[in-house]
Chain A
Amino acid sequence: ETGVTQTPRHLVMGMTNKKSLKCEQHLGHNAMYWYKQSAKKPLELMFVYNFKEQTENNSVPSRFSPECPNSSHLFLHLHTLQPEDSALYLCASSQTDSSGNTIYFGEGSWLTVV
């Protein structure tokens, strides 16, 4: 139990579907993150929210749409994805005013686009 919960753990969607990934953190942190991890590639930072405000958008295509209604919840809305978007999507959280800003990850959501 990492304190960061992601649902669903596995998702298969067609290219015309709309789906959402959900993340909830129980650690009282103020910042939340979405990362993408593809096979044999490094972690790619997608979005960062700090106190519900988006502070980073790492040139992510508009078919990925984040939503952060409060500091504990983060969503990633998906629509008209491509097969190359198949990857592990990781949510993370941190307390940015703590020493070093250690971030904690969820177990990830495995996405397959068919």
Chain B
Amino acid sequence: QKEVEQDPGPLSVPEGAIVSLNCTYSNSAFQYFMWYRQYSRKGPELLMYTYSSGNKEDGRFTAQVDKSSKYISLFIRDSQPSDSATYLCAITSGGSYIPTFGRGTSLIVHP
């Protein structure tokens, strides 16, 4: 079992939809969670990070962590065509500073 699992998609939604992107992880030592957005032919850009269970909101984006289920989510409200990108989750544990990345989910928001 991979340490971080993420469905590669693609996930195709209409403009204005609420998008849910998810990762599961196996290592209970993981305690710091990040989401990156990567546009085609660009480097990943940090979107949000959190280290606690519960929700963290930033504009149209909400990061949710459920440590008991080892499940993290990124919600995008009122999705826009400009949100079309690949979204990667990344997780670090207390024992290693090197993050483990999911393989990324490709999101397509069509007008």
A103 within 8 A of partner (CB): yes
In the bound complex, do residue A102 and residue B49 qualify as a contact, i.e. CB atoms below 8 Å apart?
Answer: yes
Chain A residues, Cβ within 8 Å of B46: 102-104
A81 within 8 A of partner (CB): no
Return B44 CB to nearest CB of chain A, in Å. 5
Within 8 A of A (CB), among B6-53: 8, 31-32, 34, 36, 41-46, 49, 51
In the bound complex, do residue B98 and residue A45 qualify as a contact, i.e. CB atoms below 8 Å apart?
Answer: yes
Q: Across the two chains, which residue of chain B brings its CB closest to A9?
A: B41
Among A4, A42, A107, A108, max chain B CB count under 10 A is at A42
Which residue of the partner chain, among A96, A100, A110, contacts B49 with CB atoms under 8 Å? A100
* A96-B97, A100-B51 given; A42·B104 CB < 8 A: yes
Binding site for A on B (CB under 8 A): 8, 31-32, 34, 36, 41-46, 49, 51, 88, 90, 92, 97-99, 101-104
Shortest 10 CB-CB contacts between residues of A and residues of B = A100-B32, A42-B103, A105-B43, A101-B97, A96-B97, A107-B43, A108-B43, A43-B101, A105-B44, A106-B43
